[in-house]
Amino acid sequence: MKKILVTGARGQIGSELVTTLRQQYGTANIIASDIREGQAEEGPFETLDVTDGKALYDAAEKHNVDTIMHLAALLSAKAEANPKLAWDLNMGGLMNALEVARELNLQFFTPSSIGAFGPTTPKKGTPQETIMRPTTMYGVNKVAGELLCDYYYYRYGVDTRGVRYPGLISYETPPGGGTTDYAVEIYYEAVRNRQYTSYIDAGTYMDMMYMPDALQAIIKLMEADPDKLVYRNAYNISSVSAAPEDFEKAIQKHIPDFTLDYDVDPVRQRIAESWPDNLDSTAAAKEWGFQAEYDLDKMTADMLEKLCTK
Ligand code: AKB
């Protein structure tokens, strides 16, 4: 039976990942941790700042975990507003978590992102291996993070694994400080006000994914046969490539009077334009069977139904 410490457990991915892992492996075996205080009555919880390496080590040792899923990080727009903090948290936290994995011989997962790519990367069908010259602090952190995880695998044999996440869409916990957040807000506002003003311009394509597919990807990758993993730390995964007007049309199938207009934020628009339109996820499919279940229409139907009954 697995025993897993999840950092950043109160964030968008973490909050749903902990629930899914607890269903799969048992509540007592999943230790949620976050710098924000949590609800210990829902299962084991540690208040934890990942920039404190000793506290991270103590939590992992105390609960005798065999795996760390390290999610604590600043997203792209927040990182752009505070690059020094982003470096300290995203790189310092990752280094601390990898050190704990090395010292305690733990399996390790951390997400990379479409943000690891930059404006010189091929935009369509972005290959698994290609030019990676990001122009954001978040992207610099993600590329360096991928390489650092590779290093811990080659140098120390730590079983590091990871995926490059697209923008993630969910109805439980809203994201905070990302460039792709509009694709979550649009659903909330469609249900609340039947209107949304997008800070990302029409015609700007990015990869997006529904949370159930994102969570299944982690579980599948972590359970995959290690001998099959060539690109163990940074698999391209994708399911939906969409621009704001694609969400508009998909939502209008359920809410015909929904309207979308634009008030473009230059910072997040610049970040979005530097990212790919859609990634090629052939390696993930071949090496560990990645397959998304949700396309734009299926995701939209589920999101709107869940938000309407929330
Ligand atoms: C962000 O927009 O910063 C994230 C990401 C794509 O990594 N959602």
265, pLDDT greater than 80: yes
pLDDT band at 34 (very low <50, low <70, confident <90, very high): very high
Domain boundary residue, one of 193, 221, 236:
236
Secondary element (H or E) of residue 194: none
**Pairwise CA distance, residues 110 & 245, whole Å:** 32
Domain boundary residue, one of 199, 219, 236:
236
Query: Are residues 99 and 247 located together in one domain of the fold?
Result: no
| ipTM over 0.95 threshold | yes
CATH number of the domain within which 298 lies: 3.90.25
Q: Token pair of 282, please?
A: 């052939």
Convert the pLDDT of each residue in 155-182 to its tens digit. 999 999 999 999 999 999 888 899 999 9
Convert the pLDDT of each residue in 186-220 to its tens digit. 999 999 999 999 999 999 999 999 999 999 999 99
Residue nearest to atom 4 of ligand 1 (CA): 178
Helix, strand, coil share (%) of the chain residues, nearest 5: 45, 15, 35
Q: Token pair of 60, please?
A: 């992992």
pTM: 0.97
CATH number of the domain within which 142 lies: 3.40.50.720
Domains: count for the chain: 2
| Average pLDDT, integer, range 52-78 | 98
Interaxial angle between packed helices 244-252 and 182-193, expressed in degrees from 0 to 180 and rounded to the nearest 10: 30
Query: Are residues 283 and 159 located together in one domain of the fold?
Result: no
**Pairwise CA distance, residues 220 & 192, whole Å:** 35
- pLDDT averaged over every residue in the chain: 97
**Pairwise CA distance, residues 305 & 12, whole Å:** 19
Query: Are residues 231 and 103 located together in one domain of the fold?
Result: yes
Convert the pLDDT of each residue in 96-144 to its tens digit. 999 999 999 999 999 999 999 999 999 999 999 999 999 999 999 999 9
Query: Are residues 226 and 115 located together in one domain of the fold?
Result: yes
Give residue 1's pLDDT: 81
**Pairwise CA distance, residues 138 & 54, whole Å:** 25
Query: Is 138 part of the annotated catalytic residue set?
Result: yes
- Residue linked to tokens 């650092």: 148
Query: Are residues 162 and 302 located together in one domain of the fold?
Result: no
Query: Are residues 18 and 92 located together in one domain of the fold?
Result: yes
Convert the pLDDT of each residue in 268-286 to its tens digit. 999 999 999 999 999 999 9
Among 71, 76, 181, 267, which residue has the most ligand 1 atoms within 8 Å of its CB, making it the best to mutate? 76
Show the ligand 1 pocket: residues with CB < 6 angstroms: 75-76, 113-115, 138, 165, 167, 178-180
Q: Which domain holds residue 175?
A: 168-208+240-308
pLDDT band at 5 (very low <50, low <70, confident <90, very high): very high
Cα torsion for 173, 178, 184, 188, to the nearest 10°? 70
Query: Are residues 269 and 123 located together in one domain of the fold?
Result: no
Q: Are strands 240-242 and 206-210 parallel, antiparallel or unpaired?
A: antiparallel
Give residue 176's pLDDT: 87
Residue nearest to atom 1 of ligand 1 (CA): 178
Query: Are residues 93 and 128 located together in one domain of the fold?
Result: yes
Give residue 310's pLDDT: 82
Query: Are residues 162 and 194 located together in one domain of the fold?
Result: no
| Average pLDDT, integer, range 6-13 | 96
26, pLDDT greater than 80: yes
